Amino acid sequence: MSSDHPHDDSGHDHGHHHGHGHDHEHSELGEMDLRVRALESVLSQKGYIDPAALDVLIDTYQTRIGPRNGARVVARAWVDPAFRQWLLSDATAAIASLGYTGRQGEHMVAVENTDDTHHMVVCTLCSCYPWPVLGLPPTWYKSAPYRSRAVKDPRGVLADFGVTLPETTRIRVWDSTAEVRYLVIPQRPAGTEGLSEEQLADLVSRDSMIGTRLAGAPAEAGSAA
């Protein structure tokens, strides 16, 4: 799928083949999630795993390691115009140059937020997601309400996340698939000209790289997740 087949804020579906070879349940927990939870319960009861340690491991990948990778990609794009152009033209190669590769990140497309256009990512059929740069997908990303409303009412979804954009700003919704996964480059906050690349990465949250939030202001540097 090419990057010129998004949904827009009118809710119109431009349509494309969504490359999945399995059925999809219209619920938060699919068959695989239920099986994993059942297995986790059995292993926990038998003493093979420590649920608390497992929670820490999941939290690490969901909120720290994964999103931190993507934040560094975005920060590099903010400070390095040549890297930004490379990221927009060949995201897979640009991201790999920073050492972030792996399954679920083989075919990446980067889209850039501007004053005129705001991008959001959804997987309308399940939860395709760029694990190497964002870590584990949040529960809400996999939920049926988000998958349907992101296309039909993107402004309403953004409002639920506390984001209100000018009516003149176009919202484009990109449907992630098994073939293509997306990374949103949020706009660089004003007043950050003197920050280092590492400090800029602190302003980039997982949600801002999905498009459901904006990048944080300098004062929020320590709270990005």
Query: Helix or strand or coil: residue 79?
Result: helix
The DSSP bridge pattern shows strands 170-175 and 117-122 to be parallel
Cα-based distances in Å from 118 to 39, 51, 84, 158: 40, 39, 17, 10
Instruction: Mention every residue, 6+ apart, whose C-beta is less than 8 A from residue 172.
Output: 6, 7, 8, 9, 111, 117, 118, 119, 120
Phi first, then psi, for residue 76 (nearest 5°) are -65, -40
Decide if 102 contacts 69 (C-beta within 8 A). Answer: no
Catalytic site positions: 123, 126-128
